Amino acid sequence: MPEVKKPLLEVKSLTTSFRTDRGLVRAVDNVSFTIDHGQILGIVGESGSGKSMTSQSILRLIGSRKSEQVNGEVLFEGQDLLKLQERQMQKIRGKEISLIAQDPMTSLNPVYTVGNQIAEVPMIHEGFSKKNAWSKAIEMIKRVGIPSAEVRAAQYPHEFSGGMRQRGVIAMALAGNPKLLIADEPTTALDVTIQSQILELILDLRNETGAGIMLITHDLGVVAEICDQVAVMYAGKIVEKASVAELFSNPKHPYTQGLLASLPKLGDKTRLTPIPGQPPNLHHLSSGCAFADRCPFVMDKCRSVQPALKKEQTEHQVACHLVNEEGGDENQ
Amino acid sequence: MKDTWKRFKQNRFAFVGFLFIALILVVALFAKWIVPYDPYFMDSSSPLTSPNGQHWFGTDQFGRDIFSRILYGTQISLKVGLIAVGFSLFFGTIIGIVAGYFGGKIDQVLSRITDVLFAFPDILLALVIMAILGPSLTNLMIAIGIVYTPIFARIARGAVLSIRDSLYIEAARSMGVNSFQIMLRHILPNSLAPLIVQVTLSFAFAILAEAALSFLGLGVSPDTPSWGIMLSEAKDWMEISWWTAIFPGVAITLAVLSFNIMGDGLRDALDPRLKNER
Amino acid sequence: MFTYILRRLLIAIPVLFGISVLAFFMVRLVPGDTVTAMLGTNYNEAQAEILRQKYGLDQSIIVQYGLWIMNVVKGDLGISSLTNEPVFDILLTRLPITLELSFISILFALLIAIPLGTIAALKRNTPVDYGASFFGMFGISVPNFWLGTLMILYLSLHLSWLPSSGFVPLSDGVWANIKTMIMPGIALGTSVGAVTMRMTRSSMLEVLGEEYMKMAKAKGVTNSRLIWKHGLRNALVPVVTVLGIQAGYLLGGSIIIEQIFSLPGIGQLALQAISNRDYSLLQGTILFIASAFVLINLAVDIIYALINPKIRYS
């Protein structure tokens, strides 16, 4: 890839905080990453790790209320989305960047037909007439692999099965030909066979359109299947970032190692080892590493000093005192 | 229970309602000693005096002190509320629990009767019952009581249905506890929360209904210091004496408002899930 | 959809039957004798007997009900003993006034309730929301007859803007008619508006938290389209059912409001029937009002099904 070309999305030091009754919570803490055209970045973490908050901060679905604050930079093709007016942002959403949400059962409006909801995208973004928008909706429904599209378009969401609805949501997300697709746990609510169909569909669409994709998931299996790059989040921070091959063959952060160890392997009869302990409460974070309480290799330093995300090797970054110190020694 | 009280107190709006109800209660209990004038005394020398230092709320067409009559009016309103709501609560709960617990034919019949009663507007039903029973305070309370019985029956029935087949009722049944005891010991306490809320809200309805029926001249006897009667009489005089029409209405509104906001506050306190949606 | 309507109709029929039984027997329990009331000072036993035979009052009460209900089904509600006109005709001449009053009340209620409820939900926990909540509480607490009295006091007696009472038929001029209907409409509509506003607010709050609202925003729809197209359409589904229940309140409230403003509608008719011990008229009026309530709610259920796709197709 030529160096001069700007990345599709460059997130720099994104920090999202909420004011709550019990104090300030940093749901996303100093997160940085980039996504190139045609690239799929997986963001992995447990629920509450801030991965969904990251995607919603990028689309500025949060940040409009007084109690919410989003800082940092979200450079989309070089333009900082956080600095845009709400009106300009409305032109980005659905047209340049689309969202596929987690639960297809609730992400479609129950009182409008699926076709109507897909058609709305070209109508608001490209000024399509009702009639043209409707044919576009049917075209999109065909494209995501729903049979008898004309009939389906005129049906309401509750007449669709879960997998069909998620296809409908994807059709809606793609109707504006976005350059970036944010898929927030797109398969979590679906059963396994449907899951792989949906992932395949997303892969196909990437190959066709060359869109960049940010895939949020708690499932490392999904990451292995379709992602190029992966970032692991824990308690609002990215703790490790690498290419998929690198991360799976050479996980550095104890949390990543734990995640991988709890992943079932083909033919392996030994019991899975889950990570002991609970994810930390964001209200009571210590000054040190958030993973310290659950980490098998915890050191004194971990409890007082926060480890920074450092470049361990090219394209492999880790935030861990254990790894960073060793790495530092090697480099000297 | 402690949590409920704590949540209720935190809701300042509802707490003010509660305090105001307490005030009404105190006034009703001690009206005899705190009224500045005898509410029935007709001072023919000063009819329709506008509000002044002696008569804070002015006097009516017979020279009776409106402030004193309003204070006495708390007794009528509370009495009607207590007895009418007590009536509906007692009979409604029994009907509802029986219907819900036994189900089948009994439930069908009782539920249909409830549906039929619901089809009659409150005021119309109360009017017809009053016409049957004849005008008097007791009959008024019975009429209002009958009108609101179906609401309690429906709530109690719903509460029973939601727990009838739960494990602990089954356990009690299998241990040979009889139906009556099960209803009294297990089912009734579990229906309490929605019933308490409905009692508070029905108090507000009952006060309004008494005022409305008295206003139409079908309630209590005309010399009674009832807020509804006072408003009804004021119609003929308000052209020259606005105060006769203002103060009784304010009294009704404040009393009803207090019970309504307390009922709302209680509902939120008893069922925090409703309040904390999202 | 068809089976849904059919099912609702089948539920309504026994209720309507129950209403007729209750209307008939309740009225018969009212003490006082129509015949005595009709004859007044000219009462004599022979005259009374003739009248009893004429109105079928000499037969057993069950037979009387049977005869009555058979006639009711044919559209014959009997003859008013007071005016000697068919009850059905009296009801028909009174109906338009009550309908107009209800229409104005609901219109007033909706014009306030839906925008206010929506805005209150959007501006949750701000002064606007508290103001709306207060209006909601006040509206359900203030007696409609006092509100009517206050308006007469201020708008008629003090400012002389509107006539304090009396009815001008639409045929005598639209504006003159509306002038007589504004105050009663507002007096009756305030509490309906308050209840509907509270329902709209809580329903809208629920909708605002829904995932599909986030998705619609992520599609790039403007804020106003998000609220008024995606949000309100969903929020109104439960609001419609509340309106059906409010119809009962309107019918009951019209009894008092029509009395205060001297509007010759159904509500006033009910009061007249009670005070004159006019059996047939009272039975007919009660039956009419209660049946209207059941039928309105039937209609509301059908509308509910129409705007709620989940029911429409199941």
What value, to the nearest 5°, has the Cα angle with vertex C12 and ends C6 and C17?
135
Residues 21-80 of C with CB under 8 A from B: 22, 26-27, 29-31
Instruction: Determine the angle formed by the axes of helices C232-260 and B122-133, rounding to 10 degrees.
Output: 30
The string of pLDDT tens digits covering residues C188-199 is 999 999 999 999
Hey, are the CB atoms on C290 and B119 less than 8 Å from each other? Answer: yes
Quick check: A181 pLDDT over 90? yes
- Per-residue pLDDT of A265-279, as tens digits, reads 666 656 667 777 777
CB A168 within 8 A of CB A104: yes
Percent of chain B residues past pLDDT 90, beyond the cut: 31
- How much is the pTM? 0.84
Query: Tens digit of pLDDT for each residue in B215-257?
Result: 988 878 888 888 998 888 888 888 788 888 899 999 999 999 9
Q: Is the pLDDT of residue A102 over 70?
A: yes
Does residue C156 lie in a domain region? yes
Q: Quick check: is C37 in a domain?
A: no
pLDDT score at B125: 92
- Specify the CATH number for the domain of residue C178: 1.10.3720.10
Nearest to C219 among A103, A111, A120 (CB): A120
Residues of C in contact with B252 (CB under 8 A): 143, 146
pLDDT in tens, B75-92: 999 999 999 999 999 999
pLDDT in tens, A223-253: 988 999 999 999 889 999 999 999 999 998 9
The residues of chain C scoring below 50 in pLDDT are 314
**Closest Cα partner for A242 from A258, A221, A256?**
A256
User: Is the pLDDT higher at B58 or at A91?
Assistant: A91
User: Which residues from chain C sit within 8 angstroms of residue B112, using beta carbons?
Assistant: 14-15, 18
Contacts of B184 (CB under 8 A, 6+ apart): none
How confident is the model at residue B278, as a pLDDT?
A: 29
Print the SS3 string covering A225-282: HHCCEEEEEECCEEEEEEEHHHHHHCCCCHHHHHHHHCCCCCCCCCCCCCCCCCCCCH
Is residue C78 domain-resident? no
Is a pLDDT exceeding 60 seen at residue A328?
A: no
Q: Per residue in B158-197, pLDDT tens?
A: 888 877 777 777 787 788 777 777 777 777 777 788 888 8
Count how many pairs of residues, chain B against chain C, have C-beta atoms within 8 Å: 136
**Is pLDDT of A206 > 80?**
yes
pLDDT of residue C226: 92
Report the residue of chain B nearest C130, measured CA to CA.
Answer: B13
C31 occurs within a structural domain = no
What is the C-alpha separation between B237 and B218, in angstroms, rounded?
20
Residue C74 resides in a domain = no
- pLDDT given for residue A216 in this prediction: 93
Residue span of the structural domain in which C221 resides: 96-307
Residue C47 within any structural domain of the chain = no
Q: Percentage of residues in chain A with pLDDT exceeding 90?
A: 44
pLDDT tens track for A129-152:
999 999 999 999 998 889 999 999
Which residues of C fall within a CB distance of 8 Å from A56?
214
Model pLDDT, residue A4: 54
pLDDT at A313: 62
**Chain B closest CA to C275's CA: distance in Å?**
8
Domain count, chain C: 1
Subunit contact B132:C150, Cβ cutoff 8 A: no
C249 and chain B in contact, CB less than 8 A: yes
Chain C residues inside the 8 Å CB shell of B246: 150, 153
Q: Is the pLDDT of residue A311 over 60?
A: yes
Nearest residue in C to A91, CA atom: C220
pLDDT in tens, A34-53: 999 999 999 998 888 888 89
Nearest to A61 among C210, C214, C237 (CB): C214
Encoded tokens for B116: 């039929």
pLDDT of residue B64: 86
**How confident is the model at residue C147, as a pLDDT?**
94
Say whether C255 and B123 touch across the interface (CB within 8 A).
Answer: yes
More confident residue, C276 or A325: C276
pLDDT at B274: 47
**pLDDT value for B2:** 65
Whole-number pLDDT of residue A329: 41
Collect all residues of chain B within an 8 Å Cβ-Cβ radius of residue C142: 249, 253, 256-257
What kind of fold does domain B11-28+66-271 have according to CATH?
Answer: MetI-like fold (1.10.3720)
Beta strands across the sheet bearing A9-20: A23-35, A9-20, A68-76, A79-80
Tokens describing residue A209? 């359109």
Whether the per-residue pLDDT at A1 is higher than 50: the answer is: no
Cα(A198)–Cα(B29) distance, rounded to whole angstroms? 72
Inside any domain, residue C231:
yes
Residue C35 lies in a domain: no
